[in-house]
A and B are shown apart, each in its own frame.
Chain A
């Protein structure tokens, strides 16, 4: 999966190192917060909260780009469960995140990064192709 894109990225975002291996995938970008319990149908891997701007969208295989993690601790278990059933996103990119999301991502072995510059959720658009390199604190973006 990794390394399928050729050529230089259109944009590169920088930040402190995150967690997880290098992954790639299409971006799914929200202007709202995210919690697996509050927002997802975990049987389908889709957003089920009607008021969410990603309502009806599938997270499966995507790199989810959101500004902030919502309250609640349940996401810590849910990401691993979803990953075990191949319903998880490929990676998570936050502007600001609470510990719950990081704990859940580590348990699920799901790459996660935060606090990138320029701000990921304002720079990346849904459908852009992303390469997350958590060890180096880099996200490379190819425009759709």
Chain B
């Protein structure tokens, strides 16, 4: 709490605000022994999470430490961190796409989220409210259940200040990362909020995910508006407006993409008990598991639960599914969300994205060597759709012998990718899928020492930005080019 008061006073916060959940980034590579000892101390003195708390990716995938070539000390450190989060009572989801797999942010609610990609997504796409609550700050919030009220918890901070006109329409998924890079580089200020305008902007969640994470990474940007797309920007005037959003939330049916689809009971007998509020989160699965544990559903009654298939995978890993199914209940699938509000203010800055600008971002990454040492699909972790896309690219082909190819994803997505055959297609080609990690968290500087890596090709603008600090020569390219580099060992352009 003292820590939170100091931070709050720095930013002239008037009071605290309660938050619904916390998302903690605490990987071993960032913490080192000092940070781990700090966490262990918090646990030892009785610290407990009082709100829902999820965790960001780790430094190692325990199943791949040796073949990735990591020092075993990272596994030891991660196991200590795991013990701490179990002790605190956190949900160890090890994902930077919690908003896609575990914890849907909701319009207007306050959060204490840590990974910048999760925050920009929650603020911008869902209209939830969070500052960057980095590791120690999110841990503090999980224990106190509140955060100092400043920044993006305040309606005034959420208004757009920079007008971004987009004439160069992003097409490929990585193009959206490139767009985020372009805007982030020019803004480079946590306190500025861009509003994106352009004909035909209608991105998928995965595209918004790439856009947001790159913008946050390149520019420390915590929130953007996309006029006609994001909930606080139904119009340009709304995005730049000076009216209070509180009490003016309206849900436009057209904006809601796919609210709780997949509610498809296999049987529609009248004697059904359905737990579907509408679809269950991991927490609700956990709660129902504890209710059902050791009990039995009546023989004349069918019981259905619905959730997303990814949540189902995680519930299976954590034992909730078994408790529910052993009682005789059946778990089904599906999920989504969106919203809006606001009213006039002049933009403080303008950015134009002209035809060719996106291409020039790629061209800005010049390979020192045409050989690709590493091809990495990561940052953020891959969604099921992205896994599917890569599976179709790699299917029946083989990674070049001199090139290592890594993909990272969450355990929930991995499980689903395995079931659908994507994993096999990727692994048969010789690429390695790492779970619960993100590439730049995996002590990448040590991999250079061990394997002599230098040239890293990636379709993630975010990874291309970060990894340069670890001594790599990053080459940011569209997904198909990265795949070609993986197969041929050469960077096509």
Contacts and interface: CB of A to CB of B under 8 A. Distances in A.
A81 B34 contact: yes
Given A99-B133, A106-B7, A107-B136, A72 B116 contact: yes
B31 A81 contact: yes
B134 A71 contact: no
Interface of A: 16-19, 33, 35, 37-42, 48-51, 68-78, 80-81, 84-85, 96-100, 102-104, 106-107, 112
A71 B217 contact: yes
A107 B3 contact: yes
Contacts of B177: none
B32 interface: yes
B418 interface: no
B469 A37 contact: yes
28 contacts: A16-B12, A19-B10, A39-B469, A40-B469, A42-B32, A49-B469, A68-B220, A69-B190, A71-B218, A72-B116, A73-B114, A73-B115, A74-B27, A74-B30, A77-B32, A77-B136, A80-B34, A81-B31, A81-B32, A81-B34, A85-B34, A96-B190, A98-B220, A99-B131, A99-B132, A99-B137, A106-B7, A112-B10
Contact of A81 (B11, B35, B134): B35
B12 A106 contact: no
Contacts of A49: 468-469
A116 B338 CA distance: 40
Interface string B446-475: 000000000000000000011011110000
B182 interface: no
B466 A68 contact: no
Given A99-B137, A102-B11, 6 more contacts: A42-B32, A68-B189, A73-B114, A78-B32, A81-B34, A98-B190
Interface of B: 3, 6-7, 9-12, 25-27, 29-35, 38, 114-116, 131-137, 151, 184, 188-191, 216-222, 440, 445, 465-466, 468-471
Nearest to A134: B10
A19 B6 contact: yes
Contacts of B136: 76-77, 80, 103-104, 107
A75 B469 contact: no
A48 B471 contact: yes
B466 A37 contact: yes
Given A81-B31, A81-B35, A73 B116 contact: yes
A85 to B, nearest CB: 8
Contacts of A70: 188, 220
Contacts of A68: 188-189, 220
Given A69-B220, A96-B191, A99-B134, A50 B468 contact: yes
